[in-house]
A and B are shown apart, each in its own frame.
Chain A
Amino acid sequence: MSSTISNYPWQAPLWHDFQQAVTLNRLPHALLLHGLAGTGKGVFAKAMAQALLCEQPLEAMACQQCRSCHLLKIDHHPDAYYLQPTEVGKGIKIDAVRDALAWLALSPQQNRAKVLIIAPLEQLNNAAANALLKNLEEPTANTTLILIAEQPALVLATLRSRCQLWLMPLPTPAESQVWLATQGVTKIEEAWLTQQGPLQLLARHQAGTLDQQQLIEQQLDAFLTQKLALLKFSKSLQSLTTSDALNGLQVAWQRHITLALQSHQQALAQQYCEQLNAIMHLKALALAGANLNWPLQWDALLCQLKP
């Protein structure tokens, strides 16, 4: 087990599939790696690239010693290409896709393979996705495309249908808690771990925004019991980053659903589920880099969530 992957025990079964596919020479030209935020799709893709580009891989496992492994580790590998937004949330531009396709048309610089990693796929607009389709139809030799998405349903269907779908599983809350403890993060509530992977929580812990989760939950309770005015809550959400606020709301709402189910309030749970969809819809728009008037969106969303 390579050192990178063994750091993420929940990825072991999928890694095993990858090794099998490589060993049997059945790795698809394009695979869509999808799963919830924080499950480590990016590190998994990088580990795949390293294994595919290594000079002396053993059973599809990178040696971690060769020049190729070194270049990949420091993100200098000329045959691994990352196609991603230049600014977070800004979308992947068509010009960037054209550059990537021009790169794909050329032979590798080292003599093994080329790996193109696209993340997040939701940020690829239709024009850019269509440009990419051509390569999926007529793949160049020795090339693997790894497409990463949180919500594959948002990906252009024609694009999705040409990829093999690989699901990155979410570790159980207990597994996540154990893993987070090894990273020095404790005091994590189980409910937070049902909708996001531990890497996201670790990142928020490191960014010092984990306390926001508690804040959002307290404010949401206050809002639902009409102790906090809608506009005040909206203002508080605006002070956070969009993704932090949406994730926080989603996790908190998920907990309300669980509580309602536990107390056998089916109708209420049903209503919460519908409201969760509104949150998820907004999250999808944010993920796709939509240009929204956020103060207005928060007000509208909270109107829908209002008891």
Chain B
Amino acid sequence: MKFTIQRELLLKPLQMVVGVVERRQTLPILANILVTVKNQQLSLLGTDLEVEMIGRIALSQPAESGQVTIPAKKLLDICRSVPEQALVQFILEENRVVVKAGRSRFVLQTLPAIDFPFFEESPSAHAFEVSQGELRYLLEQTHFAIASQDVRYYLNGMLLELSEQQLRTVATDGHRMAMCTIRLPQINDFQQVIVPRKGVNELLRLLEANDDLVKVTLGQHHVRVESSDFTLTSKLIDGKYPDYHKVLPKPSNRLVNLNRDDFKQALSRVAILSSEKFRGVLIKWSEDALVLEASNPEHEEAEERLEVSYLGASLALGFNVVYLLDVLNSLPPGDVRMVLGENDNSILLESAVLAQGISLYVVMPVLL
């Protein structure tokens, strides 16, 4: 294996791939990245066994094909430290790789490529294309509601659901739920997969808010997101996601419309005096106003009043203010619609501006 590449071309994909490599490796070889040169293309692969990232770069100078694994962190440090615009040459000699740039020369130990546990391609069920921006939006709108280290392991990930002409993400930790849906005319089938938190985070790190298309493949065991420059593969959570439709409150007359920013600011203010441990806020619905109240163990109190028109019965319920703010930070500016469910007193929040809110949130009440 032998190739030459300009520092800047190598740096970006290298940083991307090294980012996946975990510090706490279970196997020494996982501190390495798999470097492959084939058909004038360089590919770099890093994995923590849960996700795998491949970065690809076309080589303009004639290269000799080959494959080996190289210590990731050291390689990145070397590439960062050589002068800008430098040409970096790699030569594999026996089981060591020689890196030359200008007057610098480095010799790194390698480990054989055959020992590297990269992902095997999963039998695929569905593949579709979507813009990076749209996919990023779907994840951004819902990722904060993913459970963390829950024994109901299927909640520690995000549901990605294909159904007729739409793509949907759902996340819930049992106290709140976030759901986002976009139209995607090319989809006809129904499929659900659960992407673990780690995979969601890596995608958020990778995807940019632009219109470039990525190919998404939902395999039996993995999800794969691919562009011409990169491939990100993540394991899935083995399990069935709970039926989220059951969580959605039924339409009712217990409904108010609020300006998002007014509501957000009022909540932020009362939150100052909410209990630091429970972050509770009491919401009181009445005919002409929504009153927000908070108090803490030191008997300090805060109250906010928002003018609304409300036709339902008067009621007071406690909510976690952090959950409400998470939702309001995700909803678009303008009015939001807040519907109080009939049975369990959970609230549904969505944008009142868009005819059909593409993001929808449910927050369960708490006992104060």
Interface residues of A (CB under 8 A from B): 67, 70-71, 74-78, 98, 101-102, 104-111, 134, 140-141
Contacts and interface: CB of A to CB of B under 8 A. Distances in A.
A99 B222 CA distance: 20
A107 B117 contact: no
A110 B116 CA distance: 13
Interface of B: 27, 29, 49-50, 114-117, 119-120, 122-123, 149, 151, 153-154, 156, 196, 220-222, 235-239
Nearest to A131: B151
16 contacts: A67-B114, A70-B114, A71-B115, A76-B29, A98-B149, A101-B153, A105-B153, A105-B156, A105-B237, A105-B238, A106-B235, A107-B222, A109-B119, A110-B120, A111-B123, A140-B238
Contacts of A105: 153-154, 156, 237-239
A140 B239 contact: yes
Contacts of A106: 50, 196, 235-238
A78 B221 contact: no
Contacts of A101: 153
B221 A107 contact: yes
A140 to B, nearest CB: 5
A78 B237 contact: no
Nearest to A67: B114
B328 to A, nearest CB: 32
A67 B122 CA distance: 15
Given A76-B117, A110-B120, 19 more contacts: A70-B114, A77-B117, A101-B153, A104-B238, A105-B153, A105-B156, A105-B237, A105-B239, A106-B196, A106-B236, A106-B237, A106-B238, A107-B235, A107-B236, A109-B49, A109-B119, A109-B235, A140-B238, A141-B238
Contacts of B123: 111
B115 A78 contact: no
A77 B29 CA distance: 12
B111 to A, nearest CB: 10
A102 B153 contact: yes
B49 A78 contact: yes
B27 A76 contact: yes
List 9 tightest A-B contacts by C-beta distance, closest first. A105-B153, A107-B221, A110-B120, A106-B235, A78-B117, A107-B236, A140-B238, A78-B49, A107-B235
A72 to B, nearest CB: 10
Nearest to A75: B27
A107 B151 contact: no
A70 B50 CA distance: 20
A134 B122 contact: no
A23 to B, nearest CB: 23
Contacts of B119: 109-110
A76 B115 contact: yes
B122 A111 contact: yes
Interface of A is mostly: loop
B117 A71 contact: yes
B20 to A, nearest CB: 14
Contacts of A75: 27
Nearest to A81: B26
A74 B115 contact: yes
Contacts of B29: 76
B18 to A, nearest CB: 19
Contacts of A107: 220-222, 235-238
Contacts of A98: 149
A71 B236 CA distance: 22
A254 to B, nearest CB: 40
B67 to A, nearest CB: 13
Contacts of B122: 111
A111 B220 CA distance: 8
A102 B149 CA distance: 8
B50 to A, nearest CB: 7
Nearest to B29: A76
Contacts of A76: 27, 29, 115-117
A107 B27 CA distance: 19
A71 B222 CA distance: 20
Nearest to A55: B120
Nearest to A77: B117
Contacts of A78: 49, 117
A279 B43 CA distance: 60
Contact of B120 (A74, A104, A111, A140): A111
Nearest to B223: A107
A247 B291 CA distance: 74
Nearest to B236: A107
Contacts of A71: 115, 117
B45 to A, nearest CB: 13
Contacts of B50: 106
Contact of B221 (A74, A102, A108): A108
Contacts of A140: 238-239
A264 B222 CA distance: 68
A109 B238 contact: no
Contact of A109 (B115, B117, B151, B220): B117
Contact of B151 (A74, A77, A104, A134): A134
A70 B149 CA distance: 33
Nearest to B27: A76
A77 B156 CA distance: 24
A102 B151 CA distance: 9
Contacts of B235: 106-109
A70 B113 CA distance: 12
Contacts of A110: 119-120
A78 B153 CA distance: 20
Nearest to B199: A106
A75 B153 CA distance: 27
A111 B221 contact: yes
Contacts of B153: 101-102, 105
Nearest to B198: A106
A35 B196 CA distance: 38
